Amino acid sequence: MSDACGCSDDQDSVDEGRNAEPAAWWRVREIQAAAVAGALLAAGFVAARTGAPDVVTAAANWAALIVGGSTFVPGTVRRLAQGKIGVGTLMTIAAVGATILGEVGEAAALAFLYSISEGLEEYAVDRTRHGLRALLSLVPQQASVLRAGLPVLVSPADLVVGDHLLVRPGERLAADGIIRAGRSTLDNAALTGESVPVEAALGGTVYAGAINGTGTLEVEVTTTAENNSLAKIVAIVEQEQARKGAGQRLADRIAKPLVPGIMILAALIALTGSLLGDPRTWIERALVVLVAASPCALAIAVPVTVVAAIGAASRIGVLVKGGAALEGLGAIRTIALDKTGTLTRNTPTVVDVASTGGADPTHVLAMAAALEARSEHPLARAILAAVPNPVPAADVQAVTGAGLVGTVAGTTVRLGRPGWLPAGDLADRVTGMQEAGATAVLVEEDGQVIGAIAVRDELRPEAAEVVARLHADGYTVAMLTGDNKRTATALARQAGIGQVHADLRPEDKSAIIARLRAQQPTAMVGDGVNDAPALATADTGIAMGAMGTDVAIETADVALMGQDLRHLPHALAHARRSRAIMLQNVGLSLALITVLIPLAAFGVLGLAAVVLIHELAEIVVIGNGVRAGRARPLPPYPAPELTDPALSGAAA
């Protein structure tokens, strides 16, 4: 709970949240109490309207007050003992004042409304903390460590610095380390977000959570389980989530100066009046002032708007985790975008084919697909997708870190990276492919290079449109990625992004977000585990829901449920409008308090009139807040035209 709330028990911990499943919303204690209080209020209302004895109505209202107040009054008292005040303090004072003046029903209504808002916030916090479990689950439950030259299965927690891990193809690394033997490729997407596996060779550094490719590696452990890359990510998320727990609610920030001011004012009214010789009158007026200053409208101004806005957001494909997330999203001015899986499709495809020596692009692709049909390399999927029915090559062998060798129709064919195969006449084309942000592979037939194939994780078709709209709306846009500078710059140019940060690890992304936050409110948009620290560090974390990992969604404040990136500016516009409505409601509530206080202080308005005005204001605030529930869904995006990569390469 927020410190400004003035009712937090200060008993929650991230460690506890990581080990427990989040409760369903209807199991949250505050929401259960609110339901009971609401039922009791309704019973009291019915009793009063049906002529039941007054004692029945009073009993129902008192019970509602006790049940609703139990969610915040005890915490408020404990916080007051620590010298901390907030909305909970003002709610408690208002309830006590209303009770002293005989308006128990009014006090019970305040307790009911406030317990709802507290319950919703508690539920959102529990859901966010639960996401931390997904981070550490990336470490395998067992690791194969060499003992006297033989592999022995141990728990990753038992690994010590200096141990030698045996990492077989397809296995996930259990610790950070240095390669002492073997050669392979590593899928570092969980840590760096790189769209293409990277070569892993002798002396290279590897990180916990990475997935080994086709070769067997011997890795010397350099960190313990408590200090590996994933543990560092968890530490960052814990720290930033703790930071975001305090002072993020608009009503709390307003209440901090309001609460002590009202308390002092009421005391001065009672004291001054008593010195003038009519203590009873002025003490009663002071209590009326407390009721006049009670945050009836303020208590529901934000919650009503939040409930309506979040409901509308869910209908347009955007999940918003609570009022603080909605407020924060509406105040964002800088958007930091992850590349892989956010700006791009996270599906490498063939984007260009160059040929030489009389071969045509179709033949080049066919030879490459014949070899890749026997391969498990991630690039194989892109090449095979460009050749519908490849004829598999014979005697295919993988050359670790280099490529493939096989036989097609009795002819030796090789496929591999530039450097292993000479580019020859295609050197300029290969350089152009790489400068365009693509991964280039060469195809050799019977000892002669016949072509080059460019594979790239393409931008989402709507990416450039989204970036242009963000710029038009006045946002500063930056790209943060673990991919290399050349690829990142090329894709950023296509998307219309001028500010690019590449070759980043998760902690690097978090540090850059912190610098951006120092300039203006910043949102991070990402989809993977590697984005979790940045999502947590940002003022507002936004996850691509359909493509994102569970931890990204759980850590983020907002999740885009579909694959259409156009939901991002749509969600931002909705949040800005909702925040404006919140401010309108809060402004109206504060204006009401400002007007009522002097009128109550000088006896112009009595208790009945003050209560009536408060009720009318609540109706106005509710009606205005409901407007936040209006949101139009996005129109469908035009389906992209299908093109033949071979024809594209031929034209090039």
Active site (catalytic) residues:
338
CA 210/CA 409 separation, integer angstroms: 38
Residues 176 and 221: beta-carbon distance below 8 Å: yes
SS3 labels along 30-96? HHHHHHHHHHHHHHHHHHHHCCCCHHHHHHHHHHHHHHHHCCCHHHHHHHHHCCCCCHHHHHHHHHH
Strands 164-167 and 217-221, how do they pair?
antiparallel
Q: How far apart are CA 437 and CA 488, in angstroms?
A: 7
CA distance 211 to 610: 67
**Where are any strands of DSSP class E within 390-546?**
394-399, 403-408, 411-416, 439-445, 448-459, 476-480, 499-501, 522-526, 540-544
Q: Report residue 336 CA to chain centroid gap.
A: 12
Residue 295 per-residue DSSP state: -
**End-to-end C-alpha distance for the chain, whole angstroms:** 60
**φ, ψ dihedrals at 169, nearest 5°:** -55, 135
Burial track 615-652 (b if 16+ CB lie within 10 A, e otherwise) = eebbeebbebbebbbebeeeeeeeeeeeeebbebbeee
Determine the residue type at 44.
G
Residue that has been written with the tokens 């409930």 in this structure: 307
Q: Which residues contact 372 (CB under 8 A, 6 or more apart)?
A: 379, 380, 383, 384, 390, 404, 415
Q: Label the pairing between strands 205-206 and 177-181.
A: antiparallel
412/446 Cα distance (integer angstroms): 5
Q: Give just the sign of the alpha carbon dihedral 548, 550, 555, 561.
A: positive
Strand partners, 335: 477, 523
Task: Kindly state the tokens that stand for 398.
Answer: 């993988």
Q: Which helix (H) or strand (E) holds 204?
A: none
